[in-house]
């Protein structure tokens, strides 16, 4: 075994240990390994099928009733650039192996913290679920109790019959924690100190609070800037759940089910992550009965396409749209049509730090192994590693020509995607 390989083997356990220890968001999300063969031929783009819906048909004799077809919708993602730690260590700085271990542990922490930050950012900007409260978080008369905000948010998920069998999680920022943490940790669920000290160190506040399975605090939550745009829809909206669409070559191409492009009067100052409703357009539950709920469906701006078109999520599907056929009605999420002239009512009226709430299968971490033969590791003695769903590579080389130095590169390869935009999003205070 060469000296580089010995050093890698000695330091690899430090990397894996760090990656497995500080990943509260990763632990609360679903993981997915895309098919490497399909990615090889699609510029690292992958397609993931999502949970199917079904329509219940009553009756003993179904003669004359057309059976529903299969409708397998999907989402797309792209495992793009690597995230890297790339360092040179001079022999004068490294007296023994422990220096390299500490360096690699620090690099692993930086990679994982950056990954958690990117995941929470994607959740806050591309998650469409949103509850907004006028008060600051706290127990005062003019404030909003954090327990109440969590309870109302969870109740909306419950009433909407979102698939939360995988569990629910929330991530609170420091201000929200300060305003409500004392009550949350001193609740009846924690009178016996049921949450161990290491859980608090990893950010866990409490379990089973206001129906939320796991409540955490996190220091990587982003600011949601105040909405500055103003626009109206310029045509009636009609969308269907589509699995594929015709391609120019005559074949069928997959469609990302999450998004819809809507024409608007003006996109000036509208930005990705703005949360909005169509006033009076109520949400529907996701069950077969399509019960009308007592709040407007919430959406997020996923892309500002040009001066008069926005890409929004989720796709607004009107339950009584005459274009819907069979099982397509099972995907309806709004109770009335969005008509031309309807204004977008933005919910993020003031800049504030986000709090993320989610069903645990609403956010996906897609990660791929980095092959040893990859060009980025040319000349390096490299070893792959796995830490739960995180796949990476660690390589080291020594240089005796320009000095007694060593270099190492640590890389992970992944993509965060919001699979269910209606089941993940933000709790906003001070709105």
Cβ contact 200:323 at 8 Å: no
Q: CA angle, corner 422, sides to 419 and 424, nearest 5?
A: 70
What residues pair up with 44 in beta bridges, in sequence order?
none
> Residue 186: its pLDDT value, please?
62
The answer to whether residue 60 sits within a structural domain is no
CB-CB neighbours of 131 under 10 Å? 23
* Separation between Cα atoms, residue 217 and residue 184, nearest integer Å: 12
pLDDT, residue 183, reads 67
* pLDDT at position 188: 47
Q: What is the pLDDT of residues 13-29, one digit of tens each?
A: 777 777 766 678 888 89
For the stretch 370-410, pLDDT in tens is: 876 656 656 557 788 888 888 888 877 776 655 567 788 88
For residue 196, the model assigns a pLDDT of: 47
**Residue ranges of the chain with pLDDT lower than 70?**
1-11, 20-22, 40-41, 93-96, 181-207, 372-380, 399-404
- What is the DSSP track for 188-251? GGGTT--S-HHHHHTTEEEEEETTEEEEEE-S-PPEEPPP----BB-S-------SEEE-TTSS
User: Do 340 and 394 belong together in one domain?
Assistant: no
Mode of pairing for the β-strands spanning 414-418 and 363-367: antiparallel
Integer angstrom CA distances of residue 9 from 82, 382, 406: 22, 10, 15
DSSP 321: -
Same-domain status, 330 and 355: no
Q: Is residue 232 part of a domain?
A: no
Instruction: Note down the domain range covering 319.
Output: 244-347
pTM (two decimals): 0.88
Contact present, 34 and 79 (Cβ < 8 Å): yes
Residue 35 within any structural domain of the chain: yes
Q: Which of 303, 323, 347 is the last residue of a domain?
A: 347
Q: Residues 75, 195: one domain? A: yes
Q: Which pair of structure tokens corresponds to residue 340?
A: 């031309």
Q: How many domains does the chain divide into? A: 2
Confirm if 313 and 302 have CB atoms less than 8 A apart: yes
Whole-angstrom distance, CA of residue 355 vs CA of residue 425: 8
Asked if 86 and 143 sit in the same domain, the reply is: yes
Question: Are 22 and 108 in the same domain?
Answer: yes
- Same domain (yes/no): 159, 122: yes
Do 337 and 369 fall within a single domain? Answer: no
Find out whether 21 and 202 touch, Cβ atoms under 8 Å.
yes
In the beta sheet, which residues pair with residue 390?
Answer: 387
Task: Return the pLDDT at 376.
Answer: 60
Q: Cα(88)–Cα(124) distance, rounded to whole angstroms?
A: 36
């Amino acid at each position: 075994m060469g000296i580089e390989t010995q050093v890698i083997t000695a330091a690899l356990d430090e990397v894996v240990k760090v990656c497995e220890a500080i990943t509260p968001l990763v632990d609360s999300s679903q993981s997915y390994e895309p098919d490497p063969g399909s990615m090889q031929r699609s510029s690292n783009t992958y397609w993931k099928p999502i949970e199917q819906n079904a329509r219940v048909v009553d009756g003993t004799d179904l003669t004359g009733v057309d059976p529903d077809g299969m409708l397998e919708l999907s989402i797309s993602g792209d495992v793009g650039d690597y995230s890297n730690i790339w360092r040179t260590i001079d022999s004068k700085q490294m007296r023994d192996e422990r220096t390299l271990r500490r360096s690699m542990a620090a690099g692993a922490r930086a990679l994982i913290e950056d990954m958690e930050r990117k995941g929470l950012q994607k959740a806050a900007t591309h998650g469409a679920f949103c509850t907004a409260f006028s008060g600051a978080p706290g127990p005062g008369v003019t404030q909003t109790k954090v327990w109440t905000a969590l309870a109302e948010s969870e109740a909306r998920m419950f009433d909407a019959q979102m698939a939360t069998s995988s569990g629910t999680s929330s991530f609170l920022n420091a201000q929200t924690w300060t305003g409500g943490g004392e009550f949350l940790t001193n609740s009846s669920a924690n009178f016996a100190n049921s949450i161990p000290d290491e859980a608090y160190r990893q950010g866990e506040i409490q379990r089973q609070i206001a129906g939320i399975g796991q409540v955490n605090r996190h220091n990587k939550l982003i600011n949601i800037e105040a909405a500055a745009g103003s626009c109206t829809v310029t045509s009636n909206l009609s969308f269907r759940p589509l699995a594929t669409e015709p391609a120019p070559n005559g074949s069928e191409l997959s469609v990302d089910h999450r998004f819809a492009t809507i024409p608007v009067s003006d996109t000036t100052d509208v930005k990705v992550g703005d949360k909005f409703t169509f006033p009076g357009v109520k949400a529907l539950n996701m069950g077969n009965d399509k019960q009308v709920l007592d709040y407007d469906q919430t959406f997020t701006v996923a892309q500002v396409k040009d001066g008069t078109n926005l890409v929004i999520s989720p796709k607004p599907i009107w339950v009584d749209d005459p274009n819907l056929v069979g099982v397509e009605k099972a995907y309806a999420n709004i109770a009335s049509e969005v008509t031309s002239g309807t204004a977008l009512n933005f919910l993020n009226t003031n800049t504030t730090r986000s709090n993320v709430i989610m069903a645990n299968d609403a956010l996906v971490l897609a990660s791929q192994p980095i092959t040893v033969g990859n060009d980025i590791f040319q000349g390096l003695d490299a070893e792959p590693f796995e830490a739960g769903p995180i796949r990476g590579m660690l390589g080291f080389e020594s240089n005796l020509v320009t000095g007694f130095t060593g270099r190492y590169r640590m890389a992970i390869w992944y993509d965060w995607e919001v699979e269910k935009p209606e089941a993940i999003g933000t709790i906003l205070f001070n709105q």
